[in-house]
Amino acid sequence: MVITKVILLIVLSFLEFLVDVKMSKECKTCKGIVMLFFHHIISVMIFVGGLLFNPVYHLLLCVIVLLHWFTNGRCEITVWTNRECGYDESRRFNDTLNMSGLWKLDNRLIYVALLFVIGYDVWYILKNRGSLSWNPLKRIK
């Protein structure tokens, strides 16, 4: 079951990555392509990781990401990837929210989405606090 969840995460990440590559200009370096794919894995992990894996560790990841965005004003992985791929420095990361055009409605939508995900993790943790696993790949013992 765990391997299925990991494969699902990788497949979803790869699909998001492929759509990004088709919509964007070509990344110029192999290192940039690897960084971009890694960024897509993190992006998908943020939005579906709490449904697939241990919500305690997922909550920790989401809080770290949120604090990182607030303290830096944007994601450093986006800055590094843009630089490595030869993209414009101000280019947004092309995740599912950005590709769908929802970002144009309100540029704070990503924060709302992340707070919703954090809220789900907290609810799930409180509801199942007696049966949660310490294994990061398992949701419940």
User: Domain map of the chain by residue range?
Assistant: 2-127
DSSP 128: T
Q: Give yes or no for a contact between 112 and 124, defined as CB atoms under 8 angstroms apart.
A: no
The CA radius of gyration of the chain, in Å to the nearest whole number, is 16
Q: Which of 129, 31, 132, 26 is nearest to 80 (CA)?
A: 31
**How far is Cα 100 from Cα 123, in angstroms, rounded to an integer?**
28
pLDDT values of the chain reduced to their tens digit, one per residue, 141 residues: 788 999 999 999 999 999 998 888 788 899 999 999 999 999 999 999 999 999 999 999 999 999 998 899 889 999 999 999 998 888 888 888 788 877 777 777 888 889 999 999 999 999 998 888 887 777 776
What pLDDT, on the 0 to 100 scale, is given for residue 118?
Answer: 95
DSSP 24: S
In DSSP notation, 62-127 reads: HHHHHHHHHHHSS-HHHHHHHHHHT--TTPPP--HHHHHTGGGT-TTHHHHHHHHHHHHHHHHHHH
Q: Which of 53, 44, 51, 43 is nearest to 81 (CA)?
A: 43
What pLDDT, on the 0 to 100 scale, is given for residue 99?
Answer: 81
Q: Give yes or no for a contact between 58 and 121, defined as CB atoms under 8 angstroms apart.
A: yes
pTM across the whole model: 0.88
User: Dihedral of CA 71/75/76/79: which sign?
Assistant: negative
What pLDDT, on the 0 to 100 scale, is given for residue 141?
Answer: 64
